[in-house]
């Protein structure tokens, strides 16, 4: 059997596995993800996994890539600056589907055009207004999102606007009808905006990977895992990066099912930036019928029913003072662990931490550093003078925040640079706490101890140090991560059971684990299914998480590279839909990716829809990288009783093409 390479590029680690369909995992390896140049991390993982076996790079017949980069970008509020072109919508549409919040300060162009619910033009497309607005935005954005009223009924105006934008600007354009065939224009527009914002990010990943494989002598197709666990070609992923949100989590579910052969379980995958958790039902990931929700945005992307929270080994540790009480909260922002920063900048880190430990009183900025990320960004053109000045100061390498920040205004400036993806912060994290407690030893333990000790010295509500020493602080951080994970998993399980109350999950866990022993009642809850723990740090945390939840932990062999395993065992799957409606008696209209078409009978409309979808599904399956594939047709009818007779009001027709990737050689 051919040798397959699976790679997962996460926020912290890049994982690689070599896979044989008869043997399974042949070898695995990890390397640090290098955000400034992703090829370095991918190359490191590739070299290490090849060194662990007797195979050569030229033996690889397929490369499949999963990534959490798009997910992390949405969770952390990063991505390119884009322009939304709304056609036929009123400005009030921006208030729906959280569209205004997603846009932030990115520009919007509102022009006349669009269609009605029957696919008929409601106004002529205002090309002149669009051309003028594009000229005014020259050089200020990295891409465009185009959403027209009822584009899923007739995409003509989106297509015309796309062609004009490409001709005038040369920038990438995303059309909403290409991402979803469902109604709800504002939510399609939201999905479109997020896709446009992610294009440069995914393009950078795919370009880096492709160039690397060429230099290593790998002549094989490159696939990318989609958010529903299916595979698509790199070419499709480059223009539809929104489909790769939840790519890493979806691959981890596919990998978990393969590695454990479990039928029913909760899968929780902890990474550096996020924790992703979902259900396996009947051995397969459950899909979210409402579309993927990531970073607070409810998209129209078909994806696994996965919840993602900003909780991981690299989460920011925040000290919350509430009157006389002090507690810790983790995430959602990712920090670079001090132990990792010290690996490359040990002298600077240790000198700074030692200086701060010798101060008479702790300061809020202690134990924190900032450094620039060397990357291209459309935000450069929009930076203020103060943002440019601060960015310039951190270009030469890490700088301690107590030497960088001169006023509270600078903190706001720094936070904006971080949100734009131009700067990263290093601080004590759960990974550093794990170093202190001897649970992790990959990087600089001395820096970890010093950073966690600085956290312990922070003053609580009563003016005293919040922890006795770094060991106590480390336990508190790790306990907080375990507790947060357990509450989150229980709350999610209760919600699936129809009880949406996070405070109830908190109370039930407190009761189960002995908090409030003087209570008159005994009420507790436990999970009825096992917990599959994935991720490099799964063995560190998930046995205790499972114990807290009263269930068993299943941590499979290769749990730390389950995403990469899932990337190579998946299939190409393409779904294309059309609908048939009856706008008036005796006339049946087919709505699809083409212009609407009318037929005199339902049978004729159905035959046309099925033939059109079969052709389109086959074409898209080939574009997505499938070798041999099969196409299945399905239909769902909406009927009503009209004069005592069941009559079809609308029919949804679907074609699904599935098959394994086209493997080289």
Note the pLDDT tens digit of each residue in 298-345.
888 888 887 878 899 999 999 998 888 899 999 889 999 999 999 999
Read off the pLDDT band of 403 (50, 70, 90): very high
Cβ within 8 Å of residue 288, ≥6 positions away: 302, 303, 304, 305, 306
Whether 227 is covered by a domain: the verdict is no
Same domain, 472 and 597: no
Same domain, 473 and 354: yes
- Last-in-domain residue among 196, 217, 247: 196
- Nearest CA to 542 out of 192, 265, 343 is that of 265
How many other CB atoms are found less than 10 A from the CB of residue 47? 15
Q: How far apart are CA 273 and CA 332, in angstroms?
A: 8
Read off the pLDDT band of 577 (50, 70, 90): very high
Read off the pLDDT band of 288 (50, 70, 90): confident
Q: How far apart are CA 255 and CA 275, in angstroms?
A: 16
Read off the pLDDT band of 69 (50, 70, 90): confident
The pLDDT of residue 603 is: 93
Phi and psi at residue 149, to the nearest 5°: -60, 125
Helix (H, G, I), strand (E, B) or coil at 382: helix
pTM: 0.74
Whether 86 is covered by a domain: the verdict is yes
Phi and psi at residue 288, to the nearest 5°: -90, 115
The pLDDT of residue 492 is: 87
Domain that holds residue 579: 572-659
659 has a pLDDT exceeding 80:
yes
Read off the pLDDT band of 496 (50, 70, 90): confident
Read off the pLDDT band of 652 (50, 70, 90): very high
Q: How far apart are CA 177 and CA 187, in angstroms?
A: 11
Higher pLDDT among residues 76 and 404, named by residue: 404
515 has a pLDDT exceeding 60:
no
* H/E element, 218: none
Same domain, 335 and 471: yes
Task: With beta carbons less than 8 A apart as the criterion, state whether 80 and 201 touch.
Answer: yes
Q: How far apart are CA 364 and CA 368, in angstroms?
A: 9
Q: What is the 3-state composition of the chain as percent helix, strand, coil, each rounded to the nearest 5?
A: 40, 25, 35
Whether 89 is covered by a domain: the verdict is yes
68 has a pLDDT exceeding 60:
yes
Report pLDDT digits (tens) over 129-139.
999 999 999 88
For 86-148, give the secondary structure using H, E and C: EECCCHHHHHCCCHHHHHCCCCEEEECCCECCCCCECCCCCHHHHHHHHHHCCCCCCEEEEEE
The pLDDT of residue 326 is: 92
Report pLDDT digits (tens) over 13-65.
889 999 998 889 999 999 988 877 778 889 999 999 999 988 888 899 999 99
> Angle CA(77)–CA(291)–CA(71) in degrees, nearest 5?
30
Same domain, 454 and 331: yes
- Nearest CA to 429 out of 419, 444, 414 is that of 444
Same domain, 469 and 577: no
Report pLDDT digits (tens) over 445-481.
999 999 999 999 999 877 889 999 999 999 999 999 9
Cβ within 8 Å of residue 661, ≥6 positions away: 62, 64, 221, 223, 231, 571, 572, 625, 626, 627
Same domain, 464 and 324: yes
For 537-566, give the secondary structure using H, E and C: CHHHHHHHHHHHCCCCEECCCCHHHHHHHH
The rounded mean pLDDT for the chain is: 89
Whether 370 is covered by a domain: the verdict is yes
Identity of the highest mean pLDDT range in 178-182, 227-231, 250-254, 529-533: 529-533
Query: How many H-runs (helices) and E-runs (strands) does the chain carry?
Result: 19, 29
Lowest mean pLDDT of 2-16, 512-526, 572-586, 646-660, name the range. Answer: 512-526
Whether 305 is covered by a domain: the verdict is no
- Burial of residue 90 (CB within 10 Å: 0-12, 13-18, 19+) is exposed
Identity of the highest mean pLDDT range in 26-30, 175-179, 271-275, 299-303: 26-30
Report pLDDT digits (tens) over 357-385.
999 999 999 999 999 987 666 677 778 99
Domain count of the chain? 3
The pLDDT of residue 242 is: 86
Same domain, 463 and 341: yes
- Last-in-domain residue among 151, 175, 196: 196
Read off the pLDDT band of 518 (50, 70, 90): low
Same domain, 587 and 445: no
The pLDDT of residue 329 is: 95
How many other CB atoms are found less than 10 A from the CB of residue 39? 19
HSE at residue 256, side-chain half, CA atoms within 13 A, is 35
Read off the pLDDT band of 555 (50, 70, 90): very high
Read off the pLDDT band of 1 (50, 70, 90): low
Task: With beta carbons less than 8 A apart as the criterion, state whether 452 and 303 touch.
Answer: no
Same domain, 469 and 337: yes
Task: With beta carbons less than 8 A apart as the criterion, state whether 475 and 481 touch.
Answer: no
516 has a pLDDT exceeding 60:
no
Whether 324 is covered by a domain: the verdict is yes
The pLDDT of residue 12 is: 74
Same domain, 473 and 578: no
Residues 382-398 have a mean pLDDT of: 91
Q: How far apart are CA 236 and CA 188, in angstroms?
A: 19
Residues 178-203 have a mean pLDDT of: 87
How many other CB atoms are found less than 10 A from the CB of residue 352? 25
Whether 442 is covered by a domain: the verdict is yes
67 has a pLDDT exceeding 90:
no
Same domain, 470 and 590: no
Report pLDDT digits (tens) over 595-649.
899 999 999 999 999 999 999 999 999 999 998 899 999 999 988 777 777 777 8
- Last-in-domain residue among 458, 478, 498: 478
Read off the pLDDT band of 217 (50, 70, 90): very high
CATH classification at residue 143: 3.40.50
Sign (positive or negative) of CA dihedral 343, 345, 346, 349: negative
Q: How far apart are CA 77 and CA 98, in angstroms?
A: 14
- Nearest CA to 237 out of 600, 531, 624 is that of 624
Helix (H, G, I), strand (E, B) or coil at 498: coil
* H/E element, 392: helix 385-393
239 has a pLDDT exceeding 70:
yes
Task: With beta carbons less than 8 A apart as the criterion, state whether 13 and 272 touch.
Answer: yes
Same domain, 578 and 472: no
Whether 373 is covered by a domain: the verdict is yes
């Amino acid at each position: 059997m051919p040798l397959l390479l699976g790679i997962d590029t996460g926020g912290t680690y890049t994982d690689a596995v070599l896979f044989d369909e008869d043997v399974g995992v042949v070898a695995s390896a990890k390397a640090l993800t290098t955000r400034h140049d992703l090829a370095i991390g991918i190359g490191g993982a590739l070299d290490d996994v090849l060194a662990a076996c007797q195979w050569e790079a030229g033996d690889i017949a397929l490369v499949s890539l999963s990534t959490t980069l798009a997910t992390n970008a949405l969770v952390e509020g990063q991505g390119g600056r884009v322009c939304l072109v709304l056609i036929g919508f009123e400005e009030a549409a921006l208030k729906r589907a959280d569209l205004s919040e997603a846009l932030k300060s990115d520009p919007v162009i509102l022009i006349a055009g669009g269609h009605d619910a029957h696919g008929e033009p409601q106004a002529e497309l205002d090309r002149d207004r669009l051309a003028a607005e594009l000229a005014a935005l020259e050089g200020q954005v990295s891409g465009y999102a185009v959403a027209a009223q009822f584009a899923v009924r007739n995409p003509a105006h989106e297509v015309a606007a796309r062609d004009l934008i490409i001709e005038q600007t040369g920038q990438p354009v995303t059309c909403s009808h290409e991402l979803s065939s469902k109604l709800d224009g504002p939510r399609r527009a939201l999905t479109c905006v997020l896709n446009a914002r992610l294009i440069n990010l995914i393009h950078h990943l795919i370009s880096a990977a492709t160039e690397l494989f060429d230099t290593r002598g790998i002549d094989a197709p490159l696939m990318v895992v989609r958010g529903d666990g299916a595979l698509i070609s790199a070419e499709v992923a480059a223009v539809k990066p929104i489909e790769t949100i939840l790519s890493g989590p979806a691959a981890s579910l596919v990998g978990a099912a393969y590695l454990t052969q479990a039928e029913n379980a909760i899968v929780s995958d902890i990474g550096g930036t996020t924790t992703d958790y979902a259900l396996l039902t009947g051995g397969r990931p459950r899909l979210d019928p409402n579309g993927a929700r990531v970073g607070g945005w409810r998209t129209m992307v078909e994806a696994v029913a996965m919840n993602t929270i900003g909780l991981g080994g690299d989460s920011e540790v925040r000290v919350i003072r509430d009157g006389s009480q002090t507690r810790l909260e983790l995430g959602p922002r990712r920090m670079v662990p001090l132990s990792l920063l010290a690996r490359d900048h040990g002298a600077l880190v240790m000198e700074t931490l030692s200086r701060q430990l010798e101060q008479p009183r702790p300061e809020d900025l202690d134990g924190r550093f900032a450094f620039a990320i060397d990357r291209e960004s459309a935000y450069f053109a929009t930076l203020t003078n103060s943002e440019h000045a601060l960015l310039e100061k951190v270009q030469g390498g890490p700088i301690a925040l107590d030497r960088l920040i001169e006023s509270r205004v600078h903190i706001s400036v720094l936070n904006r640079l971080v949100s734009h993806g131009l700067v990263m912060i290093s601080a004590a994290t759960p990974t550093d706490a794990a170093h202190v407690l001897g649970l992790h030893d990959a990087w600089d333990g001395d820096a970890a101890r010093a950073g966690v000790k600085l956290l312990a010295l922070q003053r609580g509500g009563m003016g005293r140090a919040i922890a006795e020493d770094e060991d106590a602080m480390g336990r508190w951080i790790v306990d907080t991560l375990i507790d947060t994970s357990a509450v989150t998993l229980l709350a999610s399980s209760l919600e699936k059971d129809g009880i949406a109350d996070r405070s109830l999950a908190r109370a039930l866990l407190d009761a189960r684990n002995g908090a409030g022993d003087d209570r008159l009642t005994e009420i507790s809850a436990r999970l009825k299914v096992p917990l599959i723990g994935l991720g490099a740090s799964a063995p560190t945390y998930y046995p205790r998480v499972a114990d807290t939840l009263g269930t068993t932990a299943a941590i499979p062999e290769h749990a730390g590279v389950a995403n990469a395993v899932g990337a190579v065992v998946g299939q190409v799957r393409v779904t294309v839909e059309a609908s048939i409606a009856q706008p008036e008696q005796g006339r049946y209209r087919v709505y699809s990716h083409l212009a609407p078409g009318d037929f005199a009978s339902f049978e004729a409309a159905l035959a046309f829809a099925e033939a059109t979808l079969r052709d389109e599904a086959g074409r898209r399956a080939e574009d997505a990288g499938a070798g041999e594939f099969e196409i299945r047709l399905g239909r769902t009818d909406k009927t009503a009783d009209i004069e005592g007779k069941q009559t079809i009001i609308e029919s949804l027709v679907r074609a699904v093409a599935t098959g394994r990737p086209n493997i080289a050689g």
